């Protein structure tokens, strides 16, 4: 490995302004070597702009960043040798086939002819692209391109890999395949900085997460730390009689000392709960008022709820880029 630095990325006060839009507005990031770091935020939050500055593709208007200790502006040549960028840029030749592209990448990375062909075949097999290997890239679907793009990054396997929304728009099967590949990249020595709009993806993959909203980091920590920032657990109640709602809310406020979230469903109430032991007290209070429940559950909060708490708004998902909902059940982060 080219460096022994503890920090793959150290950025302070990064700013990028487009016209009068402060797309990135003072971002600090520290990515430990050997980890997966997730930058989580909705469309337009500034994720790609941050990556482009760290990858020497865009000059920051203010702030400072290093990659393995090398300044991205003053040592851009060195930084470029330490990084790979995949994601929202097609780095491949449209007229060449998938095999030809991978052989070309291998050759550019110094592999011999036979070795390049073997490497290309191995990667095409791994990414389920063998059947399409001879087709020119211009006939590839978005998901196939994404897989080929990641396959190409495995050839050189640079010490730091930027993955810009690696699974946006992918079907569930390809998506979990990508997750496995990302884990493999890290277990074989790379550091990964990935951006995502998917809370479950950050939760599954990232050692640490920065939540970014309108160009600013609004929270940073492990998934568990972020989740505990909204309370250790949340209490979900469903009433037999929706008319009891106001009384139930009053009881929760007085016994647990917290504010509740009312769902559009009249009979359902959710409350943050710091101390699960207090449930007994609450149940006694509800019983005393003859309020009956059909359902009671205690759940750890989801990253969705964390995001809502931190930013005051939910993650606006774009139907076109959302993977199959069955792959992202809300409860999965609790498993
Ligand atoms: N080259 C550009 N010129 C002008 N505005 C841009 C450019 N790139 C990004 N933006 C704007 O900067 C903001 C952040 O964009 P981006 O970094 O692409 O967000 P994300 O990757 O989180 O979706 C958006 O408002 C976007 O419209
Ligand atoms: Mg982007």
Buried-exposed string 281-300: b where 16+ CB fall within 10 A, e elsewhere: ebbebbeeeebebeeeeebb
Distance in Å, CA 98 to ligand 2 centroid: 25
Which residue owns the Cα nearest ligand 1 atom 17? 46
Distance CA 23, CA 46 (A): 5
Which of the ligands is closest to the CA of residue 166? 2
Domains and CATH numbers, the chain: 7-222 (3.40.50.300), 231-300 (3.30.70.100)
Cα(39)–Cα(36) distance, rounded to whole angstroms?
A: 10
Rounded to the nearest whole angstrom, what is the distance from the C-alpha of residue 277 to the centroid of ligand 2?
43
The pLDDT tens digits for 289-324 are 999 999 998 887 777 777 777 777 665 544 334 443
Q: What are 68-126's pLDDT values in tens digits?
A: 999 999 999 999 989 987 754 445 677 889 999 899 888 888 899 999 999 999 999 88
The DSSP symbol for 128 reads T
Q: What tokens does 126 get? A: 């791994």
pLDDT recorded at residue 334: 30
Q: Measured between alpha carbons, how far is residue 282 from residues 27, 261, 276 in Å?
A: 43, 16, 10
C-alpha torsion sign, points 231, 233, 234, 237: negative
Q: Distance (Å, rounded) from C-alpha 107 to C-alpha 103?
A: 6
Query: Looking up tokens 């990232």, which residue turns up?
Result: 206
Q: State the greatest distance between any 2 C-alpha atoms of the chain, in Å, as a whole number.
A: 80
Query: What residue owns the CA closest to ligand 1's atom 12?
Result: 23
C-alpha 267 – ligand 2 centre gap (Å): 39
Nearest to 176 by CA among 163, 168, 167, 189: 167
Q: What is the pLDDT of residue 270?
A: 85
Q: Give this prediction's pTM.
A: 0.75
Average pLDDT over residues 167-196: 88
């Amino acid at each position: 490995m080219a460096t022994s630095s503890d920090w793959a990325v150290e950025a302070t006060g990064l700013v990028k302004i487009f016209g009068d839009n402060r797309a990135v507005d003072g971002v600090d990031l520290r990515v430990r070597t050997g980890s997966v770091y997730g930058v989580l935020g909705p469309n337009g939050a500034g994720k790609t702009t941050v990556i482009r500055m760290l990858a020497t593709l865009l000059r920051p208007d203010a702030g400072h960043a290093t990659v393995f200790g090398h300044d991205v502006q003053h040592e851009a040549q060195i930084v470029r040798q330490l990084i790979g960028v995949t994601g929202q840029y097609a780095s491949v030749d449209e007229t060449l086939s998938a095999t030809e592209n991978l052989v070309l990448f291998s050759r550019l990375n110094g592999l011999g002819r036979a070795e390049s062909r073997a490497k290309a075949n191995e990667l095409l097999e791994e990414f389920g692209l063998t059947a399409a290997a001879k087709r020119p890239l211009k006939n590839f679907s978005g998901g196939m391109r994404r897989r080929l793009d990641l396959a190409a990054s495995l050839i050189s396997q640079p010490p730091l890999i930027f993955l810009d929304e690696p699974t946006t728009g992918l079907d569930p099967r390809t998506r979990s395949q990508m997750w496995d590949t990302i884990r493999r990249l890290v277990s074989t020595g790379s550091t990964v900085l990935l951006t995502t709009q998917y809370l479950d993806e950050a939760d599954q993959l990232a050692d640490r997460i920065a939540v970014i909203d309108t160009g600013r980091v609004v929270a940073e920590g492990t998934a568990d730390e972020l989740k505990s920032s909204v309370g250790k657990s949340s209490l979900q109640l469903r009433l037999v009689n929706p008319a009891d709602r106001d009384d139930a809310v009053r009881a929760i406020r007085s016994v647990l000392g917290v504010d509740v979230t009312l769902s559009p469903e009249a009979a359902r109430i959710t409350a943050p709960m710091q101390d699960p032991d207090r449930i007994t007290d609450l149940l006694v209070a509800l019983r005393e008022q003859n309020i009956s429940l059909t359902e009671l559950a205690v759940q750890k909060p989801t990253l969705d709820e964390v995001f809502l708490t931190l930013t005051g708004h939910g993650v606006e998902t774009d139907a076109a880029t959302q993977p199959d909902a069955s792959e992202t059940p809300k409860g999965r982060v609790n498993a």
